[in-house]
Structure 1
Amino acid sequence: MSIDPPNSEELDVLAVLWSRANDRKSTDASLTIPRINELVQRPLPPAVARIILDELINRGLVISPKRGVRDRFEITVDGLNYFEGRTEELVPPTNKLAIGEEKQAQIVKKLRELSAIVDLAELSNEEKSQAKAMMTATLAMAEAPSPPWDTIKSTLTDIGNISAAFFLAFEIIKLIA
């Protein structure tokens, strides 16, 4: 099976699900988003966790066998096969995402919208300064001839973590993914 390697956040979630599937003490290999968030190296906002899990489901590495109020997720056989014995060689790609000029322009436009939202947000001076600095860097990277999309996605996740008001950051991540 030929699939793109998971990025660092996807790999972290996949590692948690792999560990759960291999836990002999557990009778249920599935986990909820809040539980996954407790176990990943760097906690993710629920919306970001959902985007990551949806991407892993689309790749066939994760399934959601128990739908309902608290969706549960578990690693698939393909996910196990992908992860087994490869933990040391699995390194997030540096810039494997191929995004066309039209989509890049759309992303830059959305980043400018997010930048305006940051300017108007009711945040502490420290939070606003941090968000503005990250937005400036993200916009500069997105406008570059060969943007580092994985770095941009990671920075947008950090911006989204500053305030729930920056939900647009997660929508931009969907465009990049």
Structure 2
Amino acid sequence: MTCEYTMTTTEKLNWLREYREALRGLEPTHMVTINFPRPLTGTRNARREKIFVLLREWNRAVLKKLFGKQFPIRNSTNAFLFVGFVEVGPLMAKEHVHLLVRVPEHLQSQFEDHAASLWRPRQAVLGIGAPGTAIEPDILIQRCCDERGGVSGAVAYCTKHLTPSTEGVVWSCEFRTQNSTA
């Protein structure tokens, strides 16, 4: 016999409030929304994994742009950090991602100028060696202070579908533990 614990509604609300408070404590400076104009292909899990790969590539490109070739050393304290909330729709629906991003003050204008152009998703093509075709980027970058309700409003918006399982949440610092320096 297995015994599973199910959180009460009050416990879920308390958990969400605490999680949001922790996210506000990260002091995000920007909220980024990434839409996919065309649906990604594959199962729900395959589409989520594709998004994680694309976020990892974008993270690396942004780190290189902001910190140069020595970004693993220069960002070792996670001065630049994001937490992403992947929203994967039903089969063949359009996916999108909300990011809460912390950018050091002296790099914010550079981030705002280049982050959107560094998002270069490619649609996978079956076959060996096929590079894939570009997907038209659709990315919106705004400062949290410009978001309705400031940082708290940005956090609430990005976490509106968050559940205690935290399925679909990715932290940029996670990429370091996956056999990578990015």
For normalisation by structure 2, the TM-score amounts to 0.25
With a CA cutoff of 8 Å and minimum separation of 6, indicate the structure with the bigger relative contact order.
Answer: 2
Q: Which has the higher helix share?
A: 1
Give me the TM-score of the superposition, normalised by structure 1: 0.25
